Amino acid sequence: MAEQQLLERISIDPRVMAGSPVIAGTRLPVVTFLRLFAYGATAADILEEYQHLTPEDIQACFLFASKSLETVAFLPLVTEPA
């Protein structure tokens, strides 16, 4: 599936979940799925729990997150003495 088609699976609407990015047509925030993976869930676990989702929906969450981070500048939280 093309990148643009995947990104179209993510929706941002101020009337839905206060504008948090969600899987289009749902109220399921992208961050929810990123956290599930961070805590050890697999794609199979997620697809079993959320049976109306597709593997492409999960792929879209990762693509959206990676695209979002491309333009973020990170600064160290702690500076080391010179």
Kindly list the domain boundaries of the chain, sorted by start residue.
3-13+20-68
Q: What is the pTM of this model?
A: 0.84
Domain 3-13+20-68: CATH architecture, name and number where available: Orthogonal Bundle (1.10)
The tens place of each residue's pLDDT in the chain, 82 residues long, gives 899 999 999 999 999 999 999 999 999 999 999 999 999 999 999 999 999 999 999 999 999 999 999 988 887 777 777 6
Whole-number Å distance between alpha carbons of 8 and 3 = 9
C-alpha of 7 from chain center: 10
Q: Which helix (H) or strand (E) holds 61?
A: helix 55-69
